[in-house]
Structure 1
Amino acid sequence: MKSKPKAWAPATLSEYDGVRFLHLDSIWVQGAMRIRKPDQLELEYVQRMCAWMLWCDEAALGQGHGVQLGLGAAALTRFTHGALKMRTTAVELNPQVIAACRQWFRLPADDARLTVLNQDAEVWVNDDANLQTVDVLNVDLYDHEAAGPVLDDDAFYAACRGVLAHGGLMTVNLFGRSASFARSALRIARAFGSDQVWSLTPTKEGNTVVVAARGVQVPHREVLEQRAATIESRFKLPARQWLRLVKPLPTSILQAL
């Protein structure tokens, strides 16, 4: 007897003050796009998911392979593919999200630089074919209830490090004011090493972006400041503010390693 097909949370949208929002059968926002400025990163935490650029040499910016685990409203995918001109892969489990992004959120069709996969992110990061093939990995994996990351254990973060090339960078969206943040950050630090993990202070909504690197040499402050100025000039993102918000992991987490 055939098993019943999985019932996916339906993708719905709302609009307010010129912004279109993606929902998954709940009030929680899964992503957003300003209708008249679709290339603009609308949500603050999504902007901060680009903070990896501070640790990236300017000559390498836009080079290599960018991957998003969790499509959301395709904002990061559009940015990586469109603004950065990187080879881009998005991995999304819910086919309704992919369809919604193509219909309502300006996600372009696949091309030579863009591949959108209807696949489980855990399967993707554990596929040996993807080992050390990724230069930038954005992880934003929440279900329709948005209660916490759906993939968040030691094995998952170890696999995320495994797909990164040497010098690769990962950003993860966590809830910084939740008790789960310390557990998640500790797991990331175990996988990457405490000297390769940083966090930004939480947004007003509580989202905390963690940046983790594989074999990155931390630049001097002057270099980071110059990179931040370049990012602001080229991409109109508040990178100098990000730099003020970056901090090492809390001592309580480091002591638990």
Structure 2
Amino acid sequence: MKAKTPPWGPATLSEFDGVRYLHLDSIWVQGAMRIRKPDQLELEYIQHMCAWMLWRDPATLSEGHAVQLGLGAAALTRFCHGQLKMQTTAVEINPEVIAACRQWFRLPADDARFKVVNEDAARWVNDGSNLQTADVLNVDLYDHEAASPVLDDEAFYAACRGVLAEGGLMTVNLFGRSASFARSAQRIARVFGSSQVWSLAPTKEGNTVVVAARGVQVPHREVLEQRAATIESRFKLPARKWLHLVRPLPTSILQAL
């Protein structure tokens, strides 16, 4: 019997102007790393995926468990594990991506504070042993065609909410040639509640990041500004810019709920 072909393409690399890119057998970029500055978050949308930090007390940023659904070039995984010093788990279905990240993108070896799970993200979030185990959940799930998110229905987002501990935060990258931001945002808002969902203005490449929370109280503006300044000082991320980009979901989306 002929072996079944996996639904993903092989992991391939390219380099340009000091940046190494990960692809899945296509022109679409799945992740990037500046070779001489591997700890720097190179892509703007990856920086936006860290906007959850604004909703957390800076004194607690290293506490808790961070999970990435979709490894990409391991930028968020390296950041959460290496710079934030959080307990970190990355869930990635494609073993070639894991191997490429180990060899070319400085992905650390598993240890007491870090592990990579070669598993389907839908199965992982629906596993009862993972209920309320994550304080931060980064969702970035695209195949080699990058047409739309691979997992993007209410059942999936409900399972993501179930994985979050009380006070937990999720960021989702919504991008794709066939994706609908309004449709995806509505699904997330139905699950999390409209008062617990925000979006950042799109990047120039078209990535829109949504932040969703489980039982989080939004701090006053002055507190957010102080946190943004602390994030910029400690981690060299443009957090004050994030404050100008974060907004509630548009009225047109909320009215359709």
What TM-score, normalized by structure 1, do the two folds share?
0.97
> CA 1:133/1:255 → structure 2, altered by over 3 Å: closer, same or farther?
same
Structure-2 separation of matches of 1:244 and 1:178: 27
1:215 is matched with: 215
Q: Deviations over 1:138-186 (max 9, x none)?
A: 0000000111100000000000000000000000001399761100000
Q: Partner of 1:41 in structure 2?
A: 41
Distance 1:102 1:177, change over 3 A: closer
- Tell me what 2:181 maps to: 181
C-alpha distance in 1 between matches for 2:93 and 2:219: 36
Match of 1:31 in 2: 31
Q: Which residue of structure 2 lines up, in the alignment, with residue 51 of structure 1? A: 51
* Percentage identity across paired residues of the two chains: 85
* SS of match in other structure, 1:132: coil
In the other structure, the counterpart of 2:108 is 108
Secondary structure of the equivalent of 1:88? Answer: strand
* Amino acid corresponding to residue 47 of structure 2 in structure 1: Q
Q: Which amino acid aligns with 1:82?
A: G
- Note the C-alpha offset of 1:59: 2.2
Secondary structure, aligned partner of 2:184: helix
Aligned partner of 2:122 in structure 1 is 122
Secondary structure at 2:160's aligned position in 1?
helix
Output the aligned Cα RMSD: 1.4
Tell me the residue number matched to 1:160: 160
How far apart are residue 2 of structure 1 and its match? 8.0
Rounded Cα–Cα distance in structure 2 between residues aligned with 1:142 and 1:176: 8
Residue in 2 that maps onto 1:195: 195
Q: Which moved more, 1:128-137 or 1:3-12?
A: 3-12
1:251–1:145 Cα change, 3 Å? same
Q: Deviations over 1:58-90 (max 9, x none)?
A: 221110000000000000000000000000000
CA distance in 2, matches of 1:121, 1:182: 23
Q: Distance in 2 between matches of 1:80 and 1:179?
A: 28
Of 53-62 and 4-13, more deviation after overlay is shown by 4-13
TM norm structure 2: 0.97
Q: Amino acid of the residue matched to residue 220 of structure 2?
A: H
Name the CA shift for 1:119/1:188 in 2 (closer, same or farther; >3 Å).
same
Ranges of 4+ aligned residues in structure 1 off by more than 2 Å = 1-8, 175-179
Query: Aligned-pair distance for 1:57?
Result: 1.3
CA change 1:57–1:34 in 2 (3 A) is same
Paired residue secondary structure (2:181): helix
Flag structure 1 segments of 5+ consecutive residues without an equivalent.
none
Separation in 2, partners of 1:24, 1:84: 28
Partner in structure 2 of residue 145 of structure 1: 145
1:224: which partner in 2?
224
State the Cα deviation string for residues 123-143 of structure 1 (Å, max 9, x = none). 000000000000000000000
Q: 1:112 to 1:48 in 2, by over 3 A?
A: same
Shift in CA distance, 7/202, structure 1 to aligned 2, threshold 3 Å: closer
TM-fit CA distance, 1:252:
0.7
Cα separation, 2, equivalents of 1:157 and 1:148: 15
Question: How far off is 1:100 after superposition?
Answer: 0.3
* C-alpha distance in structure 2 between counterparts of 1:114 and 1:6, whole Å: 27
In structure 2, stretches of 5+ residues that fail to align are none
Q: Letter of the 1:141 partner, please give it.
A: L
Across the two proteins, how many residue pairs are aligned to each other? 257
Q: CA deviation at 1:5?
A: 5.8
Q: Which residue of 2 aligns with 1:75?
A: 75
SS in 2 for 1:203: coil
* CA distance in structure 2 between the partners assigned to 1:81 and 1:47 by the alignment: 15
Aligned to 2:21: 21
